[in-house]
Structure formats: structure tokens, C-alpha cells
Chains A and B, each alone.
Chain A
Amino acid sequence: MYKRNIYKVVSNRALSAKSMLMVLEGDTQYLTAPGQFVNVEVKGKFLRRPISVCDYDEKTITLLYDIVGEGTMAMSLLEVGAELDLLTGLGNGFDVEVECGKPMLLGGGVGIAPMYNLAKVFLQKGVVPVVIMGFNSKADVVMEEEFRDLGAEVYVATVDGSHGTKGFVTNVIENEHIEGDYFYACGPMPMLKALSANVVCDGELSLDERMACGFGVCMCCSVQTKSGAKRICKEGPVFKKEDLIWK
């Protein structure tokens, strides 16, 4: 189920030069799984902004987002107490029922957002996930301490080597000889493509594309999969590794 509601900004703070963490208060009953997204109305912009849910509970929704354009810039300027119009409950989210003893949660940049709630869900079940986060540079690294505080096993890679392992998430898996039995991934398409090709175990990946509606009617975010055309916003954003086609 998905619905529209008005949410109040409880906090909205910068974690780095481009990453922001926003906490919203309001109805969260339509959020049912980590990996779902919300579609945020931005005053003065024609289309909503689809943003992955970083965390949620009975009263609040936390969004980790990068300032990438005018819409997210406007979001970053919202003060505490401001009201936001959101569609919630969008997308399928990650499958947390998969039997696995050592899940790897792989996030690239702002793609680490949905891994936070996913890590929480695993830890609540008594499973300690390995969280591997990739960023361009030390200045971009966010949420590292927050993931450690949850109790996850955390690794960081930076492309320029300024923090953690030099290189990508895949380099961490190789260098640290991490043998997970299932993976969850979210991040830029080249990263997801590399993970699909290089990670041996089964897994699922959250895709990101330009969307218009976010609830399945416009067909703007439709991708070809091995089981036919699928809407990222509706049947996705999370797809099983074996279902995706990479060119």
C-alpha cells in the first residue's frame, strides 16, 4: 500500500559537504520493508524526488540524501518544523526472509542509506551483517560510526584511498577475504554491475533511475529483466541478482 501524507521536519543536518540527514515525523504505517522509498514533493518543482528510506520507526522516517540538484538543494534548506508532502510505501524493499548467516550489505555513496534499516533488521534477528561502504574520498564518508554503533561489522573503501581500503567495495571483499553467503547492494549502476559480475553468492540489488510518478503508472523507469519489463518504482527498486540483465 502507498499513501500521501504530510510530515514535519524534526531535523535536517549536513553530514558532509553534499550529504544530508533528514528526520521526518508522521504516519509511517505504509512502510513495510527496508529498501522502500518515498517520493518527496518539492515546492516549485514539477516532479517529486524519489528518496530511499534510511530508517523508520512508528513515528519517524529518516532520509539520507545527497544534494545533487535544485530539488535536493531546496530540501536541504528546509528548517525544523517545515512540512513536507510525501508519498510513502513505494517499492518492494529488500527480502529480509532470505536464510543467511553472514549477509553483506554493500552501499556506494548515498546508496548506503537503505542499508541502515536493513542492518537493524538483521541485528534484531541476531544476525551480524557485514556492512561495506564505498565513497570517492574521506570527505564523503558518512554514517560509518552510526553503522558501528548498531553493532555491524563495518568496512569502508575510498576510491582515492584517503580512508579505509583504497578502491571499491569489491576490493574490500577481496582484500579482507569476506565470505558472505548473501548480499544486498545499493549504489551507482557501475558498482551494481561490478557486484553482479564479481560477487559469487546470491544477492539482490536496488536500482536507481529517473522517475516521474514513483507509483507505477507512467512507465518512465521500466527496465528489461530476465522475466520481462519491470518498473523500478513498483516491482523494484530491489531485484534479485539473477533477474537483472547487464549490457
Chain B
Amino acid sequence: MSVCLSGVRLDNPVIPASGCFGFGYGMSEFYDINILGSISFKGTTRDARYGNPLPRVAECSSGMINSVGLQNPGIDAVIAEELPKMREVFHKPIIANISGFSLDEYVECCQKITNEEQVEIIELNVSCPNVHGGGMSFGTSAESVAEVVRAVKKVITKPLYVKLTPNVTDIVAIAKAAEEAGADGLCLINTMLGMRINTATRKPVIANVMGGFSGAAVFPVAVRMVHQVSKACNIPVIGCGGVETAGDVIEMMMAGATAVEVGAANLRNPYACKEIIEALPAEMERLKIERLTDIIGIV
């Protein structure tokens, strides 16, 4: 079941997605999290952020919308407090998910995290608005994605994965721009912009009006985008979006993913990743798959 992401070996392809697993140690009350391939930790910014007003969550058919607003204690507190607690219980490669609202912020955070023990991959969340670019998300323009990747690559020593937003016209163009700028891999998809209305109060359910839609409902979109991007690029892709079962992991890998992130499923079932990992061998046998690496991008 082992896979390799830019020289980083994972015991299996299952990785809890950023924002759905904290820094891991809270989840270790449920099970031994060392069975996981890796963990992508909670999106971290330069400064501590409280995030958006409440309510931050709205339920949907087969999914949910969240607008947490990147609540996190800031990069220094993550390094000083969260990472040591994480390393105490988790002894596998860690993926550091870094967010920023300016080029400088990305560079500063990546510089600080790159030499941290056990951090083997840096995952850039480029879905936040660029405060110097009129508030438009970095990830919606090929030029700004390339600019961030180039700047960050100069200061890091670990593989750089860019987590792409699906809220664009042409995700392949953005993926290619990231690859050409030097990204070592890609992760897709981040959440899709969505909205719910409480028809009784005639107000949006979420205080911030809109938020990121995730969960089983987005799985077909994720599979499609992973397929398109992995065909167009020559760097590994981490598939993410709506994965709930071992069958979903295999489908995502057949679409072109080398590893798979599991997000919202953890929130409804804290044992989701454990159950997926335990179900993988039987599912592989049923589908006559000897090694998971044999099926990457087979479709």
C-alpha cells in the first residue's frame, strides 16, 4: 500500500486533509494515528487568526459548507507548541499546510517551517485572498500562483505541493503554471464556493454568507480535476475532495492521484481514515490490485 511523494515514502496513501484533523494529537484519543500515511496539519498563517464570525458551518445533502476563516495560532506558536505535541504522538512524515495573504507571508512561514523535524512536505494553500492583489485569491490566477511558487521555492529545502482551488475556469492552466514555476507536486481540490439560505429567517446560514463546500458531493468534481491535471502535468498529484471509502481512494488513484487526502469525512466519522486504511487490502484484492502504485493514473 506504500506510495512515494517526491522522495517521501508513505506507508499508505491516506492523509487527513488540512483543517479536518487539527494537529493530530486530539484525534489520537480515537485511535493510533501512526497508521496514517501522513497528516496535513491545520492551515497556518504568519499571525494568529481567530477567523470568521459564527455560524461557520452549514449542512448540505452529502456535504457541508464551512467558513472557519483559517483560525490558527500563527506560525511561531505552531512551531513552539502544536508541532511538539503532534510529534509526541505522530511519528510519520508531516505535511505542513501554509496559507498567506501576501507573498511575504508565504515566504516567511515556509522559511520558518522548512527545517522543522518530521515536516517532509510543504503544502501551499493558495485559496486565500491576496491583500495586495485587490483581494483576489492567489489560486485563481496562473501568474500569481507561479509567483508564489517561485518565491517560496527559493527559501525551502522540502518538496513543495500547491493545493489548488477548483473555483477557476481552467484548473489545468493553473496547475501547469505551478509546475513550470517549480512546484514538486499538486494537491486538489480545495473546497468549492457554496452558499445556503435559511428560508425561515431569510438569511444565509453562514455568518460570512458563503463558504467552502466539501464532502461526498464534490467527489466527482475532484476525480475529474485530478484526471485532467495529472494528464497534463508530470508532477505527483494528491487527490482530495469527498473521499469516504477505500473504493474512493482507489478511484482517485486511478484518476491520477499518488496519494489521497480525506477531509470532511473525518468530521462526521472520526474513524474515517482508520476504516479506509483497514478496508484497503480487501478492496485491492477484490479489484485484483497488487500494488497501489500500479493503478496511479491508469484511466
Contact = CB atoms under 8 A, between A and B. Distances in A.
Contacts of B71: 219, 222, 229
Contacts of B29: 1-3, 215
Contacts of A212: 57, 64, 66, 264, 267
A224 B267 contact: no
A213 interface: yes
A47 interface: yes
A211 B57 contact: yes
Contact of A224 (B20, B27, B50): B50
Given A87-B270, A219-B68, A46 B63 contact: yes
A59 interface: no
Interface string B263-299: 0101111110000000000000000000000000000
B30 A4 contact: yes
Interface residues of B, number: 34
A223 interface: yes
Given A2-B29, A212-B64, A217 B267 contact: yes
Nearest to A2: B29
A217 B26 contact: yes
B21 A217 contact: yes
Given A46-B61, A46-B64, A223 B20 contact: no
By secondary structure, the A interface counts as loop
A20 interface: no
A213 B270 contact: yes
A25 B20 CA distance: 30
A218 B59 CA distance: 14
Contacts, number: 93
A89 B37 CA distance: 28
Interface in A195-245: 209-213, 215-224, 229, 234
A134 B195 CA distance: 35
B62 A213 contact: no
Contacts of A46: 59-64, 215-216, 264, 268
Nearest to A85: B269
Interface string B23-65: 0001101100000000000100000001100111111111110
B79 to A, nearest CB: 18
Contacts of A48: 268
B268 A218 contact: no
Interface in B48-102: 50-51, 54-64, 66, 68, 71
A223 B54 contact: yes
A223 B30 CA distance: 25
Nearest to A30: B29
Given A46-B216, A48-B268, A212-B64, 19 more contacts: A3-B29, A4-B30, A4-B269, A45-B59, A46-B59, A46-B215, A46-B264, A210-B55, A211-B57, A213-B267, A215-B29, A217-B21, A217-B26, A217-B27, A217-B266, A220-B54, A222-B54, A222-B56, A222-B71
7 contacts: A46-B59, A212-B57, A218-B66, A218-B68, A219-B51, A222-B54, A229-B50
Closest CB pairs A-B (n = 9): A217-B22, A213-B267, A220-B57, A210-B55, A220-B56, A219-B71, A212-B267, A212-B57, A219-B68
